[in-house]
Amino acid sequence: MASTSTTAPLRIRLLTFDAYNTLFKPKGSLSAQYAQEAARFGIHVTKNAVSQNFGHAYKKQLDRAPFYGLQLGMTPREWWEELVYTTFLGAGANKQDLDPIFGRLFDSLYTRFMTAEGYATFPDVDKTLAELKRRGFQMGVISNSDERVLSVIKSLNLDQHFDFVLPSCLAGYEKPALEIFDKALQIANVSPQNALHVGDDAEKDFQGARDAGWYSVLLERSKLSYQDSAPALVQDAPSPVQIPNTIMSLQELCTILGSPSSLSSTQQQPKAVSSNP
């Protein structure tokens, strides 16, 4: 039997995107937001102290209670509450000062990161999604996150572009698990060979999707300065085109994909797999 050509024609019908650092990012510094909010309640810590301690506390919390502690009976909110409390203590907050006001402080932070108050979209997002939607693609979000990603996407007015949003806490699996990609296929009613996922994590997004039989593209935003104006949106694409392994801006998808029709790919044809026995 002949091997599959690396430029075999394909028909992409479904495009999915990671959320955090793909579609949106914290407004300014996340650590600065923590420090500023704490100051409103009389807790004074520096953004550098928060930054230095958040990563350590986050890893420790993941090791102790992976996947938001769901298998331990925790809720995502409880998981984050423990993490934020540990972060502030590690950043130098006095326990006697922190304890009486922490409930209100945490409520304020938790709510902030449910909305556009805490996040901003990248400059290439809205026009690109609108154009891809106009061209007829089904589109969704697959995110390793709690349910707040639903309200964040709505608050940023991104929900108009998507047919579904699939947070890992509701899917019951996290990327790179095959099952979360299969759930997206079930929602969209497409085959993995007709799906392409875009995200910024090489293991969870790019390789996870590939292992699930999808096409995938790694978004490497760090190579592009977002202090500059976003490049003009390309309306038309030549055919055939090629799907690369990496892009620096979502706007490149408009050139790469054209419309839901036959394309050529430089990627090896993914192997169709399923989480079902």
- pLDDT tens-digit series, residues 220-244: 987 544 333 222 222 333 333 457 7
Within a domain: 209: yes
Within a domain: 164: yes
Shared-domain flag, residues 32 and 109: yes
At residue 223, the pLDDT reads: 54
At residue 257, the pLDDT reads: 87
203 backbone dihedrals φ, ψ, rounded to 5°: -85, -50
At residue 267, the pLDDT reads: 53
Q: In terms of residue numbers, what domain contains 99? A: 28-113
Within a domain: 184: yes
Shared-domain flag, residues 199 and 212: yes
User: Could you tell me which residues come within 8 angstroms of residue 55 by beta carbon, excluding any fewer than 6 positions away?
Assistant: none
At residue 244, the pLDDT reads: 73
At residue 147, the pLDDT reads: 95
Within a domain: 3: no
At residue 22, the pLDDT reads: 97
Shared-domain flag, residues 163 and 250: yes
CA 70, 76, 77, 80 torsion-angle sign: positive
| Cα distance between residue 109 and residue 165, in whole Å | 23
Low-confidence ranges of the chain (pLDDT < 70): 1-10, 223-242, 259-277
Q: Position of tokens 């990671």?
A: 18
Shared-domain flag, residues 94 and 164: no
At residue 242, the pLDDT reads: 57
At residue 236, the pLDDT reads: 32
Structure tokens at 196: 């392409």
Within a domain: 276: no
Q: How many domains would you assign to the chain?
A: 2
Within a domain: 157: yes
Task: Supply angle C-alpha 127, 131, 132, rounded to 5.
Answer: 120
Shared-domain flag, residues 43 and 160: no
| Cα distance between residue 134 and residue 237, in whole Å | 14
Contact 5, 269 (CB under 8 A): yes
At residue 10, the pLDDT reads: 58
Within a domain: 97: yes
Which amino acid makes up residue 244? P
Shared-domain flag, residues 49 and 174: no
Within a domain: 263: no
Distances (CA, A) of 32 to 44, 45, 48: 12, 10, 8
The DSSP bridge pattern shows strands 138-143 and 119-121 to be unpaired
At residue 159, the pLDDT reads: 97
Shared-domain flag, residues 68 and 138: no
- Give CA 65 to chain center in angstroms: 21
At residue 9, the pLDDT reads: 44
